Structure 1
């Protein structure tokens, strides 16, 4: 009987921000590619922090007003209409209600989740994106963060978040290591060398896996 060959391991480092709509679209397409190729490869995915707007306040500001202030009303409306269509394309409803704000606590939580397993981390990112982009949840709300943590089985999240210093150094180290040389997100590094940027379609990920596995 022929011996079955071991599946090749593909590592994926994703730099992302919890309020980046293209990061959620990219994740949906990545997940599709992962599902299509899980028989060929084993995957290890790690999520790393990026701040699209470090000036956003911790207490939260209107999501829509922030867009209009940043891009101007006409351009903001164009962006919102475009994202609504793009989200529809991946089976999601784009929701601009609610608040936006500092994503620091979400990044602290994501890194904490990574210590309990890459699956837990990956699933937590999904819950954060889903709540923020489709349900109008506020990314800085402790209750929302803990609700996401509970859904994915992350243990000790409340105690961890209660100390604002937990994970701070780690977030800064990760920013220096993974975000210093990139100008936007999502950004993917596959097997430590093959780089992709933006909300790529699943076919692009599949091709990248093939190249990386050679």
Structure 2
């Protein structure tokens, strides 16, 4: 399956392709007179702190959009690689994972979500997130904005609407809302995107110990629950790579 097309040449290697993409992005940033900020995010679709982090990152980007252009790319991380595909009760999972501190955890997340104007929903199932990561990678080939919108829809569905992250209908519906085309056909084959997810996992998340994890312009690294102010300071401190 071919997702995107670029100038063709037998000498147009993968490395050259990557450089071409970055140069075009850099050129776009310069043409608008704005500094380009590229953000790589390692995240899992069932990590509540990743939703909180995304909202804070979105606030920071929105408040500085007159000064910067942004490209956000989402990369896979598996909090529980062996999670069952059929799913398990969220509350039972939290109870097993956090034990006596599970209610404390839920209270904390409820507070965090309400601070964002959201209600934290603990109903429904949680489970294996591979299909969501396959779909996120697929969306990335259709544009940074569509991928970012899909991640938003997946987070909101899972954390505020009791949707199951492994449910095909939910995934396809989220893709539709994000403007991602061809999701149903893509997900029909369980092998589609798996190699890409694994490669992305090795490249960006293999040495990550906590999520969400951010790498800004390939230099500055941040992890965990960061307020918008921290992102704003990071945007100011990084320099755009020169090719």
Task: After superposition, give the CA deviation of every residue in 1:163-201 in whole Å (9 maximum; x if it has no partner).
Answer: 000000001001100111111110000000100001210
How much has 1:125 moved relative to structure 2? 0.2
SS for the counterpart of 1:53 is coil
Q: Is 1:114 aligned with 2:128?
A: no
Matched, 1:23 2:50: yes
- Aligned partners of 2:183 and 2:84: how far apart in 1? 22
Alignment equivalent of 1:82, drawn from 108, 121, 127? 108
Q: SS state of the match for residue 132, structure 2?
A: helix
Question: How far off is 1:71 after superposition?
Answer: 1.5
TM-score where L is the length of structure 2: 0.85
Q: Which residue of 2 aligns with 1:55?
A: 82
Give the 5 Å matches for 1:64-143. 64-72=91-99, 74-143=100-169
Out of 173, 183, 201, which is 2:227 matched to?
Answer: 201
SS at 2:197's partner residue? helix
CA distance in 1, matches of 2:219, 2:54: 19
Structure whose CA Rg is larger: 2
Which gives a bigger RCO, structure 1 or 2 (Cα 8 Å, sep 6+)?
1
Unaligned runs of 5+ in 2: 1-30
1:86 alignment partner, SS class: helix
CA distance in 2: counterparts of 1:160 and 1:180, whole angstroms: 26
Tell me the distance in 1 between the aligned counterparts of 2:47 and 2:186: 24
User: Quick one: distance in 2 between partners of 1:25 and 1:199?
Assistant: 7
Residue number in structure 1 paired with 2:208:
182
**Residue 173 (structure 2) pairs with residue 157 (structure 1):** no
Deviations 1:106-136 (A, max 9, x none): 0000000000000000000000000000000
- Paired with 1:27 and 1:67, the residues of 2 have a C-alpha distance of 22
Tell me, in whole angstroms, the C-alpha distance in 1 between the residues paired with 2:239 and 2:120: 35
**RMSD of aligned residue pairs (Cα, Å):** 1.1
Distance in 2 (CA, whole Å) between partners of 1:5 and 1:96 is 44
Which ranges in structure 1 are unaligned for 5 or more consecutive residues? none
Count of matched residue positions in the alignment of Structure 1 and Structure 2: 210
Write out the 4+ residue segments of structure 1 that deviate beyond 4 Å after TM superposition: none
Q: Does 2:55 correspond to 1:34?
A: no
SS of the aligned residue for 1:46 comes to strand
Superposed CA deviations along residues 15-72 of structure 1, whole A, max 9, x for unmatched, are 0000000000000000000100000011111000000011110011000001111121
